[in-house]
Structure 1
Amino acid sequence: MSYQQITISVSDSIAEGLADALMECGALSAAIEDAYAGTENEQAIFGEPGMPAEQVWQQSKVVALLGEHDDAAAVVAAAAEICGLQNPEYSNDILPDQDWVRLTQAQFDPIQISDRLWITPSWHDAPDGNAVNLQLDPGLAFGTGSHPTTRLCLQWLDSGIKGGESVLDYGCGSGILAIAALKLGAGSATGVDIDEQAIRASNDNAAQNNVQARFFLPDGLPAGQFDVVVANILANPLRMLGEMLAARTKTGGRIVLSGLLDEQVGELSEIYGQWFDIEPAQIEEGWARLSGIKR
């Protein structure tokens, strides 16, 4: 069975309403994506405690899946009427029937992070039985090791964890950094994320890797300091969270920051230089990692 995929470009004010209306009018699924994804105008969406969170891209596209024989024009027209849109333009592509599970799995191969650290989906055998292998499948939470910022943090953990450290992964996503820290020898690892789905995914991934990590929403994080604090988020929340992250780091402990661009290194180094002796940045594909020692 084939499917029809319709795509409608809309502003942020109407995107969610249109997606809901398409589902109401018979779409099998509807998703909202950044209309500029993959271009220099791509817009990051994030949220942190105490700061407003953008939930939809300013210029979005609603992508809906219809059955092979559904009347796409009628579905779009009915959904548009519900939302008060006048004759929206849309594209309609035919998706041939495929083994979607196998097709998706084929896109994710094992990722080598360092000489001894690999990330391996569950449907693959570990490429190196003597290496540290993280078993991690793509899911709803961000972080599979394919993004430069995640690799930069994993590489730091590979060389920086000496054994027995307490680690805080702030903005844990899939839990990959907390899990990696434990498998590399950390004594304990705690993750924090604002998204309940990320907490669930992190707990599932920790169980899959047979490690004992704890994951919390921000308000649930117990008091205490850590030997290593890792925050792979974005520059704006890093700016706002500096004092809190510094307070969570033990004197003499290490901080690792990523999610910032090369051109943001100077500003973030100055901010975190209030509390840390910042080391030279490491850059990969335009993304940067900062690290430092707490004074």
Structure 2
Amino acid sequence: MKWLELHIDTNHGGLETVETLLSTLGIDGLVIDDEEEFQDFLENNHQYWDYVDEDLEQSMRGKSRVTFYLPADETGFSKMGQVRIALAKLKQERSDCGSLLMTLENLEDADWENNWKQYYKPMEIGERLLVIPQWLQSEPKVKKLLSQGRVPLILDPGLTFGTGSHATTRLCLTALEQHIRGGERVLDLGCGSGILSIAALRLGAASATAVDIDDKCLTVAYENAALNGIGKDTYTVLVGDVLSDETARRQVGGGYQIVVANIVADVIKGLAPMVRSFLAEGGLFLCSGIIDDRAEEVADALRAAGLEILETRSAEGWFSYLCR
């Protein structure tokens, strides 16, 4: 079935007016993009990131937009005409709702369901790993690389963030590949999709525990683990904040040969003084998600916590540290 995707550009103050106008025409199920809410979100959640893509900020600058969908048939085009007439009338009556420009795109159901898949390809990481989107397992190139000894790490990128495409994830995967010898217990803090802990198990770790503050990790990480033939006998996913919750820290426990945290600088600085409580004697702490202009600051915090930085890696303006 074909659809019409329509956008109405307004401003923050005009959003409610446009929503009301569409509602009176029987159009609900709206998608709202609002610059003020976007900026408020960034301001109130800045502890979770050190970098926001400039293109994303630019795309939201001065923008408040209402998006809605109509069937690409006689009924839909008729309804679009009603919206156009109502907007023209609103422009005459109000001058404080922005441009009220309406634009149109044609879509098909298949576009929504499948087109995003074209952006994901198999990725060779280091000397051993091969990250494979679930639907590409039978590709000739994938089969060839696996026949050459690559270790498969199968993911469903549609489930959540954490696919191996970001530089910080690749830095961690490369380090894990070099330091997983077999039989280790691994702790993945801020696990997201579970990619790092699942990779550790695929590389030979004996068991892994993954932790995140977002309860979506329970579904996503376990589903990605299942794609790789990994069950709950060796893989445990927990929800909690080890920085602020003593109960979560007790639940996680200690004795891990490798602790990995691909998060952000402030969280890594907070983890630094407590990470030894998670580590076994001689264990390794691998951290990433550190943007270049905060790299030295984080390194100083790691050293101040008594950790020795053994290896430093960087790529595309991001850093990772391997510590003992």
TM-score, structure 1 as length reference:
0.77
Following superposition, the deviation at residue 91 of structure 1 comes to 5.6
One of 161, 164, 173 as aligned partner of 1:154? 173
Secondary structure of 1:229's match?
strand
C-alpha displacement at 1:264, in angstroms? 1.3
**1:120 corresponds to 2:132:** yes
C-alpha spacing 1:242/1:138, structure 2 compared with 1 (3 Å): same
| Paired position in structure 1 for 2:218 | 199
Are the equivalent residues in 1 in contact too, given 2:269–2:301 (CA < 8 A)? yes
**2:164 alignment partner in structure 1:** 145
Matches within 5 A, 1:82-231: 86-89=96-99, 92-97=103-108, 99-100=110-111, 101-124=113-136, 125=138, 126-127=142-143, 128-129=145-146, 130-212=149-231, 213-218=235-240, 220=248, 222-225=251-254, 226-231=256-261
> 1:141, 1:201 within 8 Å by CA — same for their partners in 2?
yes
Structure 2 gaps of 5+ residues are: 49-56, 241-246
Identical residues among aligned pairs (%): 29
User: How far did 1:236 drift?
Assistant: 2.0
- Cross-structure match for 2:3: 2
TM-score where L is the length of structure 2: 0.71
Q: Summarize the Cα distance change of 1:223–1:286 in structure 2 as closer, same or farther, 3 Å threshold.
A: closer
How far has the Cα of 1:34 moved from its partner? Answer: 7.7
Q: 1: distance between equivalents of 2:189 and 2:132? A: 23
CA distance in 2, matches of 1:277, 1:71: 64
Cα separation, partners in 2 of 1:175 and 1:29, compared to 1, 3 Å: farther
| Residues 210-250 of structure 1: CA deviation (Å, up to 9, x unaligned) | 11311111155614211111111111222223223342222
Higher helix share: 2
Query: How far apart in 2 are the matches of 1:208 and 1:23?
Result: 43
Q: Which has the larger radius of gyration?
A: 2
How many correspondences in the alignment? Answer: 272
* CA distance in 1 between partners of 2:133 and 2:18 (Å): 31
- State the secondary structure of the residue aligned to 2:222: helix
- Counterpart of 1:284 in structure 2 is 315
Tell me, yes or no, if the aligned pair for 1:27 and 1:64 is still in contact at 8 Å: no
In 1, Cα distance between equivalents of 2:175 and 2:34: 32
Deviation at 1:208, TM superposition (A): 1.4
The answer on whether the counterparts of 2:172 and 2:196 sit within 8 Å (CA) in structure 1 is yes
The code of the aligned residue for 2:4 comes to: Y
Measure the CA separation in 2 of the matches of 1:18 and 1:189.
52
